[in-house]
Amino acid sequence: RRAIFEQLRQAPSVTADGQAFELHLNIGLLIELTRLAETGAKGIGLFRTEFQFMVSDTLPRLDEQAELYRAVVNASNGHPVVFRTLDLGGDKVTSYAPSTREPNPALGWRAIRMGLDRPGLLRYQLRSLIHAAGEKPLKVLFPMIAAPWEFRAAKAMLVKEVEYFRRRGRTVPETVEAGLMLETPGMAWAIEQILPEVDFVSVGANDLMQYFYAADRQNARVSDRYDVLAPAALQLLKSIRDACVRHNVPVSICGELAGRPLEACVLMALGYDRMSMAAGSIGPVKRALTALDAGRLGTWLASHMTDDLPSLRGGLLKAGSAAGL
């Protein structure tokens, strides 16, 4: 198996019917950057900046944050890197963060909510990122955006910090992109309102499915209870992707879903040609996608998207094997 994946690493990322795709990595630690060369991934689709905060006993200082981000940018060797701003709270806790004792942490004060309510925290992080990027392009992704105003407020902070650097005659990145992490069903319904202001969208499928099905991703009793390939979920994912395409906004998907070969093929057939995943998934997913007739699976899917689940899943498996999976 290892040998197959090694060979695949060099192979072009194109499906059997000639559709190009891109696989990116989800990482959060500096040591994981070696996985870029090992897997042949196109870039870092999700750098989880909260890891540095979670492994530290105290709040990382601005220079400590900047040092990590600079090391990531340098080690990425020209590959694009998407830095997600702090996603603390919910399942991600630190010993020093403002109180995280809440009855429903997943529905509580987390991620961008914390960043906007404690703007000092987010501002410092944005400054660290701008500083670390130097003149290289910078991509910033805001997590858990549940309403358009949250994205606007976060993007305004980013723009303001870039201006702050410029006014002081400091180096600013050649381009700065603001991304929206789509993780709540409410945002999926409001996406059209904000897309004209968004540079890229990343669908956080772990949280999106958790909130869509109201099933705690950390509670084993319910986390796998609902099928992420059920018609309702597929229609949600398709409508998000189609809205982004209509507005010409690049969209990718990250989360466990993209890292599983069958699910990745279905995503590809829905039009998600950029996916970001854990390093161990790149080989298996690339193998599945390069063997896939995405057009054929897409056509099949278009007329079966609303089937009942057992026949949809059974059909997917069959259509998948007919399509080379």
**Residues that bind Mg ion in the complex, under the rule CB under 5 A:** 204, 207
- 39 with 283: CB under 8 angstroms? yes
Report how far residue 294's alpha carbon sits from residue 243's, in angstroms, rounded to the nearest whole number.
Answer: 20
Residues 104-163 that bind ligand PEP (CB under 6 A): none
Q: Please, which residue, 172 or 188, has the CB nearer to ligand PEP?
A: 188
Report how far residue 13's alpha carbon sits from residue 24's, in angstroms, rounded to the nearest whole number.
Answer: 11
Stretch of 29-37, 122-130, 199-207, 228-236 lying at the interface with ligand PEP (CB under 6 A): 199-207
Instruction: Write down the residue that tokens 């998907």 correspond to.
Output: 253
Q: Please, which residue, 15 or 276, has the CB nearer to Mg ion?
A: 276
Q: What does the radius of gyration of the chain's CA atoms come to, in whole angstroms?
A: 20
Residues 56-95 that bind ligand PEP (CB under 6 A): 87
Stretch of 187-195, 204-212, 228-236, 302-310 lying at the interface with ligand PEP (CB under 6 A): 204-212
The per-type count for the chain, helices as H runs and strands as E runs, is: 15, 8
Question: H or E element: which one contains 245?
Answer: helix 231-246
Q: What is the DSSP letter of 85?
A: P
Stretch of 1-9, 95-103, 202-210, 295-303 lying at the interface with ligand PEP (CB under 6 A): 202-210
Stretch of 98-106, 200-208, 227-235, 314-322 lying at the interface with ligand PEP (CB under 6 A): 200-208
- The distance in angstroms from the start CA to the end CA of the chain is 16
Closest distance to Mg ion from the beta carbon of 187 (Å): 12
- 54 with 77: CB under 8 angstroms? no
Q: Is 207 in the site for ligand PEP (CB under 6 A)?
A: yes
Q: Is 180 in the site for ligand PEP (CB under 6 A)?
A: no
Footprint of ligand PEP (CB under 6 A): 46, 48, 87, 183, 204-207, 254-255
